[in-house]
Amino acid sequence: MKRFHVKKGDEVVVIAGAERGKRGKVIEVETKKERVIVEGLAIIKKHMKKNQANPNGAIIEREGTIHISNVMAAEKFDARAAKRTTATATT
């Protein structure tokens, strides 16, 4: 089994892609696909087939996946940002 730098429940910052700069909590880590689902980010529309719960079918919005290399743990991101601001302040 692969080991990743984030796990379920961690707060992460997206560092690349369309959702860059946004923060959220990891809902799920898909280890085989190397992707994560982050709460409130990468929203996709899913067309649902007719069933008893939705007699006419439905279009629901839910979180899509983001590649694990495009997210960073929020604590690490904040530490880097603090380091960057102190370095520029001294110069």
Average pLDDT over residues 59-85: 95
Domains of the chain (ranges; CATH) run 11-86 (2.30.30.30)
Tally of residues, the chain: 91
Query: Between residues 12 and 86, which one has the greater pLDDT?
Result: 12
Mean pLDDT to the nearest integer, 20-48: 96
d(CA 13, CA 74): 5
Q: 47 near 29, Cβ under 8 Å? A: no
Q: Are strands 71-73 and 11-14 parallel, antiparallel or unpaired?
A: antiparallel
**90 has pLDDT over 80:** no
Per-residue confidence (pLDDT) for residue 91, from 0 to 100: 67
Average pLDDT, the chain: 94
User: What pLDDT, on a 0 to 100 scale, did the predictor assign at position 86?
Assistant: 84
- In the chain, pLDDT over 90 holds for what percent of residues? 87
